[in-house]
Amino acid sequence: MIIEAQDLTKIYRTTASEVVVFENLQLAIPKGRLIAVIGPSGAGKSTLLHLLGGLDRPTRGTVLFNGSDIFQMSSTELSRFRNRHVGFVFQFHHLLPEFTAAENVMMPRLIRGEGRPAVLGDAERMLERVGLSHRLDHKVGELSGGEQQRVAIARALSGSPELFLADEPTGNLDHRTGETIFGMIRDLHAEKELTSVIVTHNERIAVQCDEVWQMDAGMFRRE
């Protein structure tokens, strides 16, 4: 298994209340699978994705990546893990508006300290792969919503991650554009030999994945 969760629990506590998102979740994802996670709002889908990718820490429990507990890492080690092993795409693209499409795609590898010339070449090839070779030097504000999400996908995959996590990647797009973007994600999943987990409300997208996991009230059901 490339990623496993054992007794995974997330509880948000304030002085006045306690919200249990889920308790004692168990899951295991084999390498190369494309998993859709569906369910009602508030079921904990996004929280689960953040925990699997090390963006948030659980209240208790473990997440194993290739057998190693990521939450035994220091904050610096966890940041390095995310940069090198995980590609994230969100409903809101979170691109940096002051930079071009190519510069946004370059960013994860520049953060690693890699040289700009080689990184630029790879970013240009990645943008060509997602159909944006004509937009390399365009700023974010000059791109359509679908184009911005293509840049976000290219950025997520620029560092050759093993794990791809997407949270409602088509949620802000019209139906036709959303179908196109998901088709691209599915193709890249196969080409890059990724293990992918996609949170979506779109059942037409979910049924195109290898497995569909229904999440409700902190519980999983495989469909």
Structural domain that includes position 161: 3-222
Question: Whose CA is closest to 34, among 172, 176, 166, 201?
Answer: 166
| CATH code at position 210 | 3.40.50.300
State the total domains in the chain: 1
Say which residue the tokens 């249990």 belong to: 20
C-alpha triplet 56, 61, 67: angle, nearest 5°:
90
Beta bridge partners of 18: 13
Please give the mean pLDDT across all residues of the chain.
Answer: 91
pLDDT at residue 223, rounded to an integer: 61
pLDDT in tens, the chain (223 residues): 899 999 999 999 888 888 888 999 999 999 999 999 998 888 889 999 999 999 999 999 999 999 999 999 999 999 999 999 999 998 777 899 999 999 999 999 998 988 888 899 999 999 999 999 999 999 999 999 899 999 999 999 998 999 999 999 887 788 888 888 899 999 999 999 999 999 998 888 899 999 999 988 666 666 6
Cβ atoms 128, 163 nearer than 8 A: no
Cβ atoms 155, 108 nearer than 8 A: yes
Note if the pTM is more than 0.75.
yes
Helix ranges restricted to H, 53-191 = 75-85, 101-111, 116-129, 145-157, 175-191
- Dist CA 217 CA 195 (whole Å): 25
57 backbone dihedrals φ, ψ, rounded to 5°: -105, 145
The per-residue pLDDT for range 98-133, each reduced to its tens digit, is 999 999 999 999 989 888 888 999 999 999 999 999
